[in-house]
Amino acid sequence: MPDQLIFGMEVFLNGLMAGVLYALVALGFVLIYKASGIFNYAQGVMALFAALTLVGIMEGQVPFSHLINAIFGTEVHHFGWHVPALAAILLTMVVMVALAWVVNVLIFKHLVNQEPIILFMATIGLAYFLEGFGDMMWGSDIKTMDVGLPQGINEVIDTTTAGWFGYGFFIDNLDIVATVIAAALVFTLIVFAQYTKQGRAMRAVADDHQAALSVGISLNFIWVMVWSLAGFVALVAGIMWGTKSGVQFSLSLIALKALPVLMLGGFTSIPGAIVGGLLIGVGEKLFEFAIGAPYLGGATEIWFAYVLALIFLVFRPQGLFGEKIIERV
Amino acid sequence: MLDQTEGYTTEDGRKIGGVVMEMKNITLRFGGVVAIQDISFDVREGEIRAIIGPNGAGKSSMLNVISGFYNPQEGEVWYKGEKRPQMKPYQVAQQGIARTFQNIALFEGMSVLDNVMTGRIRQMKSGLLAQSLWKGKAEREEVENRAFVERIIDFLEIQHIRKTPVGRLPYGLKKRVELARALAAEPSILLLDEPMAGMNVEEKEDMSRFVLDVNDEFGTTIVLIEHDMGVVMDLSDRVVVMDYGKKIGDGTPDEVRSNQAVIDAYLGVAHD
């Protein structure tokens, strides 16, 4: 087998794994968009905030320590204990649910029946607030996250492929774990939405507020639930990205990568978010490998996704799986 | 005058029970506009109670007051012998008052079956966690409720479209699906806002038959609003007539038909 093809296969697999992480972030967007019609710009920052909180709790960091020290002239930074990863994840989830509740009560409850663009602006405000709030609460230094997920080269794949092709593939264990977790998450979400009372109520609210009220669904409850779900997805994405590249504020920018994913997959489709994520992950890696690096001087990964999205906007604006846009006259 | 507790027997031999809901001196204003002015009436268990009146008489507003979408400035709503505090629409629904809408409010993206299942939300008690884990009680509950919903679907003769997304259905069938969803809640009072509006003669006959069958089979108390005088007179046991937000008549169809104020409101009368 020619070397180029074998390299190409490795690139393809790595692209698939990267795509899973894109899909995870995009999934958070789709969830909120489907249930409330809000395009949540803050999804990426929520992932960052979840990751910050998780590390903070695990390390026993004192929240708002800079603020406390500045006001009271004290020197507290750490409680001096370490919380096990699983307990810390559960505590972080509690924080994310609380955040969902506060966001609903303070902001979105008051914006019922407003134009989508107003809701969108509100989420931009939320994004900047949350970024600053996370900074104030946990500090802005880059943190490493280690919740015990396996990392480094997968030996089994390395030796097997070496046996087959005479060249071992480099696949990160973390990427494999991320793929498995993402698949489980998506499966759970789909079952939840399709077959449970709350899932059905969620779809009902997304479809028609008045009708939902008339069958006895509390809009506020559903909204808090949806934002909590988005918080949960953000937490999972935050853990994956945080473990991969450290918890830093540029994490919030991965939200921007989710935009082209959504344009490919369609804003209303959960399978679309996954396929879109995978396509962009694979697409940008393969493009860089086959065309970008040899002919264009490299670094095409930065813009490839956006150009692809642009092409989609021209030829298929509803995305691969989005609902067809039909205007009745 | 009818007795408060005992009820009466209709001409076709149906037993009508005591008062289940009573509206007392309801007044509803939108800014300076008085939509409902000091209206009182009662609804008895098992009867078909109609509210009629010309366009803009305030019929839909009255239905919205009953279902909690509007809160009247004055007056009281009594339900099952208790004064009802101010409530949100979803709380009213959870008390067992189901409704349909004049302009149809269905979940267009969901299948007929899913739409009707949402009507069962009140009956499904298991919590978020149990539902997510989908085990034991939650699963049994889903199966039981599904069985009930299938019965309703059979009853209203919409089996052939069970899996169809509601958005693709024609108007007449949508109306029927909406009725199915309301019925799935096993309501103690069913509110129908112009169930026959925009239908052709055949569809109207079907719908009338369903309304009567529902009342007969499940003993459901029905409050309905309707434009078509002929339909109302055939269907209902007692009729409230509204005009310009006021009550101008209340009684059996025969009494209402011979009421001079009602005739004037419908046929017009010369004002000097």
Mutation site for A-interface testing, chosen from B107, B108, B179, B188 by largest number of A Cβ within 10 Å:
B107
Of B141, B165, B182, the last residue of a domain is B182
Contact B122 A218 (CB under 8 A): no
What is this structure's pTM? 0.79
Tell me what pLDDT residue B127 has.
63
The verdict on B112 touching A (C-beta cutoff 8 Å) is no
Residue-number span of the structural domain to which B116 is assigned: 103-182
Distance from the Cα of B65 to chain A's closest Cα (Å) equals: 13
CA distance to B92, B119, B147, B173, per residue, from B153 (Å):
24, 12, 10, 12
Of B167, B182, B197, the last residue of a domain is B182
| CB-CB contact of A178 with A240 (8 Å) | yes
In a shared domain, residues B191 and B177: no
Q: Which residue has the higher pLDDT, B129 or A67?
A: A67
Query: Which amino acid does the sequence have at B106?
Result: L
Q: Closest to B105 (Cβ–Cβ): which among A188, A192, A211?
A: A211
Q: In chain B, how many domains are there?
A: 2
ipTM, 2 dp: 0.81
Distance CA B50, CA A144 (A): 69
- The owner of tokens 């040899």 is A294
Q: Find the CATH number of the domain harbouring B223.
A: 3.40.50.300
- Tokens for B59? 């019929």
Q: Closest to B181 (Cβ–Cβ): which among A197, A207, A215?
A: A215
The verdict on B228 touching A (C-beta cutoff 8 Å) is no
Nearest Cα residue to B158 out of B172, B142, B147:
B172
Whether the per-residue pLDDT at B72 is higher than 60: the answer is: yes
**Chain A residue with Cα closest to B180:** A215
In terms of DSSP H, where are the helices of chain A?
A: 3-36, 43-59, 65-72, 85-106, 116-138, 155-165, 173-195, 197-207, 209-214, 219-245, 254-265, 270-287, 293-295, 301-315
- Tokens for A67? 């603020």
In a shared domain, residues B138 and B227: no
Identify the burial level of B201 via C-beta atoms within 10 angstroms of its C-beta, where 0-12 means exposed, 13-18 middle and 19 or more buried. exposed
SS3 A284: helix
Query: Which amino acid does the sequence have at B34?
Result: V
Read out DSSP for A299-319? -THHHHHHHHHHHHHHH-TTT
**Chain B residue with Cα closest to A206:** B107
Contact B121 A219 (CB under 8 A): no
Count the Cβ atoms, other than its own, within 10 Å of residue A49. 29
Residues of B in contact with A323 (CB under 8 A): 109
| CB-CB contact of A106 with A220 (8 Å) | no
What average pLDDT score do residues B61-71 get?
A: 93
Residues of A in contact with B90 (CB under 8 A): 212-213, 216-219
Mutation site for A-interface testing, chosen from B70, B71, B87, B90 by largest number of A Cβ within 10 Å:
B90
Instruction: Give the model's confidence band at B3: pLDDT under 50 very low, under 70 low, under 90 confident, else very high.
Output: very low
Residues of B in contact with A214 (CB under 8 A): 67, 89, 93, 98-99, 101, 105, 182
Q: Closest to B93 (Cβ–Cβ): which among A199, A206, A216?
A: A216
In a shared domain, residues B159 and B225: no
Instruction: Give the model's confidence band at B79: pLDDT under 50 very low, under 70 low, under 90 confident, else very high.
Output: very high
Query: Which amino acid does the sequence have at B28?
Result: L
Q: Which residue has the higher pLDDT, B154 or A7?
A: B154
In a shared domain, residues B21 and B85: yes
Mutation site for B-interface testing, chosen from A191, A213, A215, A323 by largest number of B Cβ within 10 Å:
A215
Residues of A in contact with B69 (CB under 8 A): 210, 213
Q: State the DSSP H helix or E strand holding residue B113, giving kind and residue range, or none if neither.
A: helix B112-118
In a shared domain, residues B122 and B255: no
Bridge partner list, B9? B15
Contact A216 B132 (CB under 8 A): no
Residue-wise pLDDT tens digits, A109-138: 888 767 888 988 999 999 999 999 998 888
Nearest Cα residue to B133 out of A236, A231, A232, A191:
A191
Residue-wise pLDDT tens digits, B6-47: 777 877 777 888 899 999 999 999 988 999 999 999 999 999
Distance CA A96, CA A225 (A): 11
For B190, half-sphere exposure in the C-beta direction (CA atoms, 13 angstrom radius) is: 28
In a shared domain, residues B17 and B138: no
Q: For chain B, give the percent of residues with pLDDT over 70.
A: 92
Residues of B in contact with A213 (CB under 8 A): 69, 88-90, 93
Of B182, B211, B239, the last residue of a domain is B182
Residue-wise pLDDT tens digits, A198-219: 888 888 888 888 888 888 888 8
Q: Which residue has the higher pLDDT, A221 or A167?
A: A221
SS3 A251: helix
Least confident of A157-161, B23-27, B58-62, B159-163: A157-161
Q: How many residues in chain A?
A: 329
Distance from the Cα of B239 to chain A's closest Cα (Å) equals: 24
**Chain B residue with Cα closest to A190:** B132
Contact A203 B107 (CB under 8 A): yes
Instruction: Give the model's confidence band at A146: pLDDT under 50 very low, under 70 low, under 90 confident, else very high.
Output: confident
Distance from the Cα of B96 to chain A's closest Cα (Å) equals: 9
Nearest Cα residue to A284 out of A6, A12, A3:
A12
Residue B129, phi then psi, degrees to nearest 5:
-65, -50
In a shared domain, residues B271 and B198: yes
Contact B128 A198 (CB under 8 A): yes
Distance from the Cα of B87 to chain A's closest Cα (Å) equals: 12
In a shared domain, residues B128 and B258: no
Distance CA A257, CA A28 (A): 13
Contact A211 B106 (CB under 8 A): yes
Nearest Cα residue to A231 out of A49, A70, A58:
A49
**Chain B residue with Cα closest to A218:** B90
The verdict on B111 touching A (C-beta cutoff 8 Å) is no
Bridge partner list, A33? none
Tell me what pLDDT residue A283 has.
92
Contacts of B52-55 spanning 24+ positions with Cβ under 8 A: B52/B225, B52/B226, B52/B227, B52/B229, B52/B232, B52/B239, B52/B240, B52/B241, B52/B242, B53/B241, B53/B242, B53/B243, B53/B265, B54/B243, B54/B265, B54/B266
What average pLDDT score do residues A296-320 get?
A: 86
In a shared domain, residues B118 and B230: no
In a shared domain, residues B51 and B155: no
In a shared domain, residues B86 and B196: yes
SS3 B126: coil
Whether the per-residue pLDDT at B248 is higher than 70: the answer is: yes
Count the Cβ atoms, other than its own, within 10 Å of residue A23. 32
Distance CA A275, CA B249 (A): 63
| CB-CB contact of A33 with A39 (8 Å) | yes
Residues of B in contact with A216 (CB under 8 A): 90-91, 93-94, 121-122, 185
Contact A214 B132 (CB under 8 A): no
Least confident of A32-41, B1-10, B155-164: B1-10
Contact B88 A196 (CB under 8 A): no
Contact B93 A215 (CB under 8 A): yes
Whether the per-residue pLDDT at A169 is higher than 70: the answer is: yes
Tell me what pLDDT residue B193 has.
93
In a shared domain, residues B162 and B194: no
Residues of B in contact with A207 (CB under 8 A): 107-110
Tell me what pLDDT residue B8 has.
79
CA distance to A223, A305, B88, per residue, from A104 (Å):
7, 32, 18
Query: Which amino acid does the sequence have at A237?
Result: A
Whether the per-residue pLDDT at A326 is higher than 70: the answer is: no
The verdict on B124 touching A (C-beta cutoff 8 Å) is yes
Whether the per-residue pLDDT at B5 is higher than 80: the answer is: no
